[in-house]
């Protein structure tokens, strides 16, 4: 299955130097978006050469915890309004139009639970950017330009039980008690997942991940 998806990603890579395609991967929290995105990038680069593809996560545009505290949004971290959607859209536009110099992108450190500025780089010769996140198909204010900036958008379909087990482990590893983690999943992660699921028809295809 993974090899077939890598083949599909390679088919998107422009044969002409100076062109760049953007592949988006959407799906609910803990569906496996970042794992698939990195697998695709590694697979493309293994076959076509280093830096042919690059990984840029939407999670790099999380608002910092300090900003979330200022806005009173820390308890809803991960909801659409807890990201810098405008910053993400601006980067996608630059990735489409600027091919003459390196472009730096923020990453996200799960151990710190914070975005990290300029953690990633997309080089001028990179012809495929794989970006992933919850809200790539969302039509809320600020997010609505994203879909049209992507050449393809794949939706990861993962069983709810698998996703929630991953979320529980993620939040407990991050320092929450089991009870706190379950409460956060119920209050924030599930509503976010439902929102993402509701937008799946805007995606190009669905990819089932057991």
pLDDT tens-digit map of 111-153: 999 999 999 999 999 999 999 999 999 999 999 999 999 999 9
| DSSP-derived pairing of the beta strands 114-122 and 103-109 | antiparallel
Domain spans of the chain?
Answer: 2-208
Give residue for tokens 């999670």.
59
- Distances in whole angstroms, Cα of residue 31 to Cα of each of 98, 133, 148, 188: 31, 10, 23, 15
CB distance 43 to 6 below 8 Å: yes
Per DSSP, which regions of 16-113 are E strands? 21-26, 53-57, 103-109
54-106 pLDDT, tens digit each: 999 999 999 999 999 999 999 999 999 999 999 999 999 999 999 999 999 99
Half-sphere exposure of 52 (CA within 13 A, CB side): 20
* pTM (2 d.p.): 0.95
What pLDDT score was predicted for residue 119? 98
Count the helix, strand and coil residues of the chain and give each as a percent rounded to the nearest 5. 45, 20, 30
How many Cβ atoms from other residues are within 10 Å of residue 154's Cβ?
A: 26
Q: What CATH code would you report for 2-208?
A: 3.40.50.300
CB distance 92 to 23 below 8 Å: no
2-51 pLDDT, tens digit each: 899 999 999 999 987 779 999 999 999 999 999 999 999 999 999 999 99
- CA angle 110/94/32 to nearest 5° reads 30
């Amino acid at each position: 299955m993974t090899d077939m998806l890598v083949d599909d990603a390679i088919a998107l890579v422009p044969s002409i130097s100076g062109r760049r395609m953007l592949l988006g991967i959407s799906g609910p929290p803990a569906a496996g978006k970042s794992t698939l995105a990195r697998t695709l990038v590694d697979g493309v680069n293994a076959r076509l050469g280093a830096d042919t593809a690059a990984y840029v996560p939407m999670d790099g545009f999380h608002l910092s915890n300090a900003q979330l505290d200022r806005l009173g949004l820390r308890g809803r971290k991960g909801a659409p309004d807890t990201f810098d959607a405008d910053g993400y859209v601006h980067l996608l536009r630059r990735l489409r139009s600027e091919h003459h110099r390196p472009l730096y992108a923020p990453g996200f450190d799960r151990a710190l639970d914070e975005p990290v500025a300029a953690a990633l780089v997309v080089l001028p010769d990179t012809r495929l950017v794989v970006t992933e996140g919850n809200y790539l198909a969302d039509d809320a204010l600020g997010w609505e330009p994203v879909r049209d900036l992507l050449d393809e958008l794949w939706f990861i379909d993962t069983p709810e039980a698998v996703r929630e087990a991953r979320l529980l482990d993620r939040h407990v590893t991050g320092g929450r008690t089991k009870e706190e983690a379950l409460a956060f999943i119920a209050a924030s992660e599930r509503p976010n997942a439902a929102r993402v699921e509701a937008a799946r028809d805007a995606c190009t295809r669905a990819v089932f991940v057991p």
